[in-house]
Amino acid sequence: MNKLLVIIGHDLRLAFRRRSEWFQPLWFLLLVVALFPLGIGPQPALLSQIAAGVIWIAALLSNMLSLESLFREDAQNGRLEQWLLLDASLPALAAGRTFAHWLVTGLPVILISPLLAAWMQLPQAAMDTLILSLLLGTPTLSLLGSLGAALTLGSRQGGMLLALLIAPLSVPVLVFATNAVSDAASGFIADTQLLLLGVILLFAITLIPFAIAAALRIHLQE
């Protein structure tokens, strides 16, 4: 547990030192969402209909952008080997790193989501659901992406491969989340979808760290 905090604290400090790394995906997200009203034109009704999908797809893409380098640096400089030699569980360390990553890339998305929702004319009634769905969904995306980053450590064109691997796996999160938000926008209660997102997150938290650890081990065996 102590080591987990060390990893998280260290990653956060490093992220703070190179602000561009986590600022870029956020900037990308803002740009993509901002382009939609410009491209579609002043049609509030249409915008508010596609708002949930646009915000969520943009969040998904920006999440992928930032993930490729998650383990790459440490694999190259040899610190990943040293992770193996600690008497701490590798899944826990991998989960710690993923959590730190979510704190610097996932959390800001949630914080700026009201702004995005306003641009996309999302009805006020759906705001809570949007924030909740992001809160439950983005950690799952980070975990999946972290797994992808670990699996693609060995390949040089890791980024593209990572997107191809992770996008299909993210589909359930995307479907339930956008469905929840558009249901809430039309005045329905979206509890079921949010609960399902929570279930997916619980599954992801309990299982994916072990998969990440296995992928990292395989990479180090090469």
Question: How does DSSP assign 138-199, residue by residue?
Answer: HHHHHHHHHHHHHHTTT-TTHHHHHHHHHHHHTHHHHHHHHHHHHHHHTT---HHHHHHHHH
Q: How far is the CB of 69 from another protein (least distance, A)?
A: 12
Query: Residue 136 or 150: which CB sits closer to another protein?
Result: 150
Burial annotation 195-213 (CB, 10 A radius, 16+ → b, else e): ebbbebbeebeeebbebbb
Which residues, at least 6 apart from 155, have a Cβ–Cβ distance to it below 8 Å? 161
Shortest approach of another protein to residue 71 CB, angstroms? Answer: 13
Minimum distance between the CB of residue 3 and another protein, rounded to whole angstroms?
A: 6
- Considering only residues 16, 31, 43, 81, which one is a binding residue for another protein as defined by CB under 8 A? 81
Q: How many residues lie near another protein (CB under 8 A)? A: 22
Question: Stretches 5-13, 24-32, 129-137, 148-156: which one binds another protein (CB under 8 A)?
Answer: 5-13
Cβ burial of 42 (10 Å; 0-12, 13-18, 19+) is exposed
Identify residues 88-127 at the interface with another protein (CB under 8 A): 88
Binding to another protein in span 50-79, by CB under 8 A: 73-74, 76-79
Binder to another protein among 35, 86, 115, 207 (CB under 8 A)?
Answer: 86
What number of H helices and E strands is found in the chain? 10, 0
Give me the residues that bind another protein (CB under 8 A), please: 2-3, 6-7, 10, 14, 17-18, 73-74, 76-79, 81-82, 84-86, 88, 220-221
